[in-house]
Amino acid sequence: MTESVPMSPSPKVEEWQRDLAAGRRIELRRSRVTNILLALLMLGLAILFAFLARSADDGSFIPWFAAVCSLVAFAVFAYRGVSAPPAAIISPEGVSRGDGTNPIPWSEISDTGVIRSQRSRFVALVLTPQEAARRTELGEPTADLTSDKGETATAAFLPSGIPSEDDLIALIEIERQRRG
């Protein structure tokens, strides 16, 4: 599953390595611009659906429902665009989603890769059986993956939309080999 790690890390990977060596966390965020543009799109759709609902003579609730759903999506994307909470955190202890609690220790990551689902790309962290069991006990999301060879492994996924996925995989592989 591991994609090839470049022989010489990119400047971004080297910067991240220096941060980890100094004991600092790396907070990866989704694109603010993308989220703000999506928020504006959702606001436009909400206005369009509200206009359609007001001009409809049949009293249908579907346009109003679509307008409310678009407003909720607007609020979510606007929040992400303005506050930009971290989607993933890389620390000297390991890799974690969002808030940084319960990181996956470096020694418990056995492989990495990118899983594509339609147009989304997710960084997959293949876990050791012990870490997979611990994640299940904690109620953390995991999934079973089957390789082309028919082997099954449990993986945790980092959220989609994280920039520099290839650099992130290179960093995780380097740190996993060094710290694992």
Q: In 7-160, where do the E strands start and end?
A: 26-29, 86-91, 94-97, 104-105, 109-117, 120-127, 143-146, 152-157
Q: Where are the domains of the chain?
A: 11-28+87-179, 32-83
Task: Tell me the CATH architecture of domain 11-28+87-179.
Answer: Roll (2.30)
pLDDT attached to residue 180: 66
Band (pLDDT 50/70/90 cuts) for residue 29 is confident
pLDDT attached to residue 141: 83
pLDDT attached to residue 8: 65
Closest C-alpha to 109, from 124, 89, 92, 121: 124
Q: Is the pLDDT of residue 142 over 50?
A: yes
Per-residue pLDDT tens over the stretch 2-16:
444 445 678 888 888
